[in-house]
């Protein structure tokens, strides 16, 4: 399954319309950057170039999975080791 990026951009705008109305300038910057990242094409700097691209469901899924892996690694690094963050919280609660 695929669609044009222009269609996907309209879908994003429609799904986040309440946020877009509050800050349309941010949406105009964020949505194209998000689409570039999903496509893994930072070279597409003009919006016209983006609108002519095709995006697949697999590209969206791949981007979301990669984002989750990065976030998980960040959380794991923050806690030191797996479960380390919870141990620190317990210690500080006992000491308080």
Angle ∠(36,41,45) on CA atoms, nearest 5: 65
> Do 24 and 42 form a contact (C-beta atoms < 8 A)?
no
Q: What is the mean pLDDT of residues 64-82?
A: 71
Q: What is the pLDDT of residues 31-57, one digit of tens each?
A: 888 888 888 888 888 888 888 888 888
> Do 5 and 54 form a contact (C-beta atoms < 8 A)?
yes
Q: What is the pTM of this model?
A: 0.59
Residue 43 to residues 15, 32, 40, 81: CA-CA distances in angstroms? 27, 12, 9, 37
């Amino acid at each position: 399954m695929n669609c044009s990026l222009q269609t996907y951009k309209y879908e994003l705008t429609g799904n986040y319309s309440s946020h877009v109305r509050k800050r349309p300038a941010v949406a105009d910057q964020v949505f194209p950057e998000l689409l570039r990242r999903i496509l893994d094409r930072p070279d597409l700097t003009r919006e016209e170039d983006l609108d002519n691209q095709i995006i697949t469901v697999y590209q969206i899924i791949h981007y979301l999975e990669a984002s989750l892996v990065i976030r998980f690694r960040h959380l794991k690094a923050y806690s030191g080791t797996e479960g380390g963050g919870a141990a620190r919280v317990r210690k500080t609660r006992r000491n308080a």
